[in-house]
Amino acid sequence: MSLSLLTTCFPGLPDVDGSRVLGAAWVGAGAPQEPPVWPQQRLLTPVLGPAEVVQECWWVQGSAPLSCGEAEGIAWRRSGDLLFGVIDIDEAAVRTEPPCTPLQQAAHDAYARIFHLLDAQGLPHLWRLWNYMADINGESHGLERYRQFNMGRGDAFEAGARSVVGRVPAACALGLAGGPLTVAFLAGAAPIVPVENPRQVSAFLYPNRYGPRSPTFSRAALAHPPGQEILFVSGTASIVGHETVHPGDVRAQTVESLDNIAAVLGVASSSSRSGPFALADLGYRAYIRHAADLPAVREVVAQRVGDAPVAYVRADVCRADLLVEIEGQALRKLPVWQ
């Protein structure tokens, strides 16, 4: 059994047997299609290229039956030791009391329920998380909303007796124009190999000028389904040390983000079971704050990654001075003797 990722930039997944799909992401600004039978994270935001819709579909080969369920608002599907799930939480429906904010509570609830499901499923290890929320740079209750999210997420990791440093999953966290807090995840029985970036302070060690609680994610993670190696590179931005560099200069921010990814690939390569990773080996999603910046970002990215597939998506990055964030992944078969 192995895990595959099919990214199409057109509606429809012609070559995938729906009974083998663990879950998917759908990105687009228009009315989405009817939700499929598998868990799907829907992001209502413009895709800037190469088409108007992105579908990213995780599916498994083999004949083992899939199990699926709905638990505390999480839609999930599992095959062997791999599980994909999605949870959406509407902040307006969350009950909380000050000083906890609705977004902080929503983040806490989403993660607490994910941990509860994974405990029940006997799959302790989160590999990759995709987090999206409305108005990520907005301020309420005296705190930027992304920082509220970090408080709820970090509290849930601690309440679930999970480490908030060291071996934490790969992730991204972006803002959209509206919609619920939506969190998608891939989990497995085997732990990830976390990867940090020597050019950056680990996000889980950011100083508290970026918020009362540091974000809980690794710069990248190597995960090992049977016979495979998957590299997840987290959302990567123009941050050196812990500071934003090149504010206001989208081209320079894109170069810096790619330099950061290249540094992460260097470290990942030294822990890899499948051989070194180069920029051209991955598939990417690039999040762009201002749609008008697409040509500049695309030119820099294409120059560095060559023919590697890149989907460009309109989204807000989690610091107001960041204009672009890039994430990627690579899936490889391991030689049979590994």
- The catalytic residue positions are 325
In the complex with ligand 3EB, the residue whose CB is nearer, 14 or 207, is 207
Rounded least distance, CB 169 to ligand 3EB, Å: 9
- What's the CA gap between 89 and 109, in Å, rounded? 8
In the complex with ligand 3EB, the residue whose CB is nearer, 77 or 219, is 219
How does DSSP assign 74-136, residue by residue?
Answer: EEEEEETTEEEEEEEE-GGG----TTS-HHHHHHHHHHHHHHHHHHHHT--EEEEEEEEEEST
User: How far is the first Cα of the chain from the last one, in angstroms, to the nearest whole number?
Assistant: 15
Rounded least distance, CB 263 to ligand 3EB, Å: 13
CA nearest to 222, candidates 192, 188, 260, 263:
192
- What's the CA gap between 49 and 313, in Å, rounded? 7
Q: Which tokens hold the place of 288? A: 């762009």
In the complex with ligand 3EB, the residue whose CB is nearer, 21 or 88, is 88
In the complex with ligand 3EB, the residue whose CB is nearer, 39 or 154, is 154
Rounded least distance, CB 261 to ligand 3EB, Å: 11
Rounded least distance, CB 129 to ligand 3EB, Å: 7
Rounded least distance, CB 33 to ligand 3EB, Å: 28
Q: Are the beta carbons of 241 and 200 closer than 8 angstroms?
A: yes
In the complex with ligand 3EB, the residue whose CB is nearer, 245 or 334, is 245
Q: Classify 53 as helix, strand or coil.
A: strand
- Write the CA distances from 182 to 74, 85, 104, 139, 262, integer angstroms: 10, 11, 13, 19, 29
Binding site for ligand 3EB (CB under 6 A): 131, 171-173, 203, 215, 217, 234-235, 237, 239, 318
